[in-house]
Amino acid sequence: MEEQKGIQKKKLHKKNKRIRKVKRSSGLFIAPSFLGVLVFFVIPFLVVIFYSMVDNPIAKNFVGIENYKVVLANNAFKRAVTNTFRFSIVAVPLAVLLSLLLAIMLEAKLPFRSQFRTFFLSPMMVPVASVVLIWQVLFSYNGAVNDLLAHFGVDKIDWLKSQYSHVVIVILFLWKNLGYNMILFMAALASIPKDILEVARLESANALQTFFYIKVRYLSSTFLFVTIMSLINSFKVFREVYMLTTDYPYDTIYMLQHFMNNMFKKLDYQKLSSAAVLMSAVMVVIIGVLFLTEKYFGKDVEG
């Protein structure tokens, strides 16, 4: 008995030793990535939090949460948040739903399917400067769209400096991102097990039932991914807006990034950092909600 216990102990000791060895070597292999994330993401974020708690980047006197109060009370910040939120709430769902629709259409046996796919993917290859140029040609006060409208007797619209600027930016965002999302959905649709769809067909399920009860479930992770990516890309639209309208655009397209970019130029790092921390907190909440939603809808999906 004692002997058996001893043997078991030895085996356990060997097993633990092996586990520790595996963990050590795994740690070594993960270390470069971990260091990279630490150096390029975690530490800079901590620095941002530090800057959000000092009076300015020169004196660096600790002021606690004063900067957050100042930023939250700042009208420009409030305007930027409103515009960014409004843009995201419109553009992101549109980007997800329209790209899904396109993916479903292209999945069907339509003629010129590959040409349509190329057509929707081509905006991804266009450089930002060219995108801006195209949009200027189309939507400037003397642009092609106004020329076209003039033929129909409609007065010129200042697309980028009026209430319509929001619409122009949404169109720009959709034009740029639909292709990429569409490809993701197409891949996801192709990976849905055919046998389940066949079973559904045999069980007399109609297309809508098949879509909502089976395809949506299998697409849940893709939905999550596309939504997150679209949300991230919705912030990147600042690039095009900035090149179209510079530092101080019309107030309806003044985004959070404008605020942060201008604060950076003025060395107002404390305001910039406070805004960035607030924004990341909101993003964490949104993405958390998305993950929970995906978990709910995708719980029945295999793998």
Q: Between residues 15 and 266, which has the closer beta carbon with respect to other proteins?
A: 266
Question: CB of residue 246 vs other proteins: minimum separation in angstroms?
Answer: 8
Distance of CA 295 to the CA centre of its chain: 19
Contact 283, 274 (CB under 8 A): no
Candidate ranges 35-43, 57-65, 166-174, 278-286; the one touching other proteins (CB under 8 A): 57-65
> What percent of the residues of the chain are helix, what percent strand, and what percent coil, each to the nearest 5?
80, 0, 20
| Residue 57 engages other proteins in binding (rule: CB under 8 A) | yes
Least distance (Å) from other proteins to the CB of residue 262? 6
CA distances, 123 to each of 105, 117, 179, 225, 239 (Å): 19, 11, 8, 20, 15
The correct pick among 222, 244, 259, 274 for binding other proteins (CB under 8 A) is 259
**Which one of the spans 91-99, 155-163, 171-179, 209-217 is the region binding other proteins (CB under 8 A)?**
155-163
Asked if 75 is part of the footprint of other proteins (rule: CB under 8 A), the reply reads yes
* Under 8 Å between Cβ of 298 and 220: yes
Question: If binding is defined by CB under 8 A, does position 161 make contact with other proteins?
Answer: yes
CB of 99 to other proteins, least distance (A): 32
Residue 124 DSSP SS3:
helix
Q: Check residue 167 for interaction with other proteins (CB under 8 A).
A: no
| Among 210, 221, 233, 262, contact with other proteins (rule: CB under 8 A) | 262
> Does residue 233 come out as left (phi exceeding 0), alpha (psi in the -120 to 50 range) or beta?
alpha
Q: How far is the C-alpha of 120 from the C-alpha of 137, rounded, in Å?
A: 20
Binding mask 124-153 for other proteins (x = CB under 8 A): -----------------xx-----------
Q: Closest separation between CB of residue 156 and other proteins, Å? A: 8
Closest to 252 measured CA to CA, from 175, 145, 169: 169
Does 249 engage in binding with other proteins (CB under 8 A)? yes
Closest distance to other proteins from the beta carbon of 87 (Å) = 16
Residues 175 and 154: beta-carbon distance below 8 Å: no
Are 96 and 184 in contact, with CB atoms under 8 Å apart?
Answer: no
Q: How far is the CB of 78 from other proteins (least distance, A)?
A: 8
Nearer of residues 124 and 128 to other proteins, judged by Cβ: 128
In the numeric block, the tokens 């807006």 are attached to 241
For position 248 contacting other proteins by CB under 8 A, the verdict is yes
Contact letters for other proteins, residues 267-296 (x by CB under 8 A)? x-x---------------------------
Got the DSSP string for 269-287? HHHHHHHHHHHHHHHHHHH
Contact indicator for 249, 158 with CB cutoff of 8 Å: no
Q: Residue numbers of the site for other proteins (CB under 8 A)?
A: 56-59, 74-76, 79, 141-142, 156, 158, 161, 248-251, 254, 258-259, 262-263, 265-267, 269
